[in-house]
Structure 1
Amino acid sequence: MSGPDEELWVDEAAGPVVRPFAVARGRTRHSSRQKLDLIAVVVTAEVPMPDPRTLSPEDEAILELCLHPLTVADVAAALTLPLGVIRVLLGDLADQGLIDVRQPAVQALPDHSLLKEVIDGLRAL
């Protein structure tokens, strides 16, 4: 029951309101084999771009942002979308070969015996 004097809960300048799950087409996980850590670096692949009509506005924004390498977390922050949604979108783009994902370097943990020697040495002090 809205009357002419009631305020709208969103103004016209806000544009259409789309829920994050709708942006990811209801998915919470991507189908890509790529693991998308927060600090994984994403860059737009140097391949011919597909027809823009086949990309969502979010996909286009990601490809534009990632012309310069960005982390997954930075992409989410720049687009103000939840990390889960960004991971789904990035996974889709990776499956299409439109982005390259560079995983962070894995640092090997020190050997258990080395840590024990360090602790023993500190106790000896």
Structure 2
Amino acid sequence: MTGPGGPVRSYVLTGGRSEAPLRLGVETLLEATGAVDTLPLTASRHHRRLWHMCRERLSLAEAAVHLGLPISVTTILACDLLASGHLTRRSPGPKPPDTDTLLEVLHGLRSRLSV
């Protein structure tokens, strides 16, 4: 991460915090709430960029890449916006079973039906 005066330390962006108050998976979907420009004037430019990006639903991992920040820093920024009600989070839903598991179930069902 670099700023106008050189490298910007992560603790500057997070106000000295190193851990997020919530556990968010990298697949967590973030979506902005509220009307345009509802963030307080005190919101950092990183908070503003994250909030504007999340006008379209975006995963935490995608947001980190777009911001060019580590996932840990992006998580803390997202938690700030979640706490203030400017973001909502959504679970991407259950992961579908892999093909091998489905084939095992199919073979198991076929063997029970043929008995």
Q: Fold-level match, TM-score > 0.5?
A: yes
The answer to whether the 8 A contact 1:47-1:98 is kept is no
Partners of 2:32 and 2:39 lie apart in 1 by: 13
Given the alignment, which residue of 13, 16, 20 partners 1:26?
A: 16
Partners of 2:63 and 2:78 lie apart in 1 by: 9
Partners of 1:70 and 1:108 lie apart in 2 by: 20
Q: Secondary structure at the match of 2:73?
A: helix
- TM-score, normalising length: structure 1: 0.68
Q: Which has the higher strand share?
A: 2
1:99 is the counterpart of 2:84: no
Partners of 2:35 and 2:19 lie apart in 1 by: 25
Unaligned runs of 5+ in 2: 98-103
Supply the RMSD in Å over aligned alpha carbons.
2.7
Partners of 2:39 and 2:58 lie apart in 1 by: 21
- TM-score, normalising length: structure 2: 0.73
Q: Deviations over 1:10-58 (max 9, x none)?
A: 9xxx6123112211122122224xx31111111101257133x210110
The answer to whether the 8 A contact 1:63-1:99 is kept is yes
The answer to whether the 8 A contact 1:21-1:27 is kept is yes
From the CA coordinates, give the structure whose radius of gyration is larger: 1
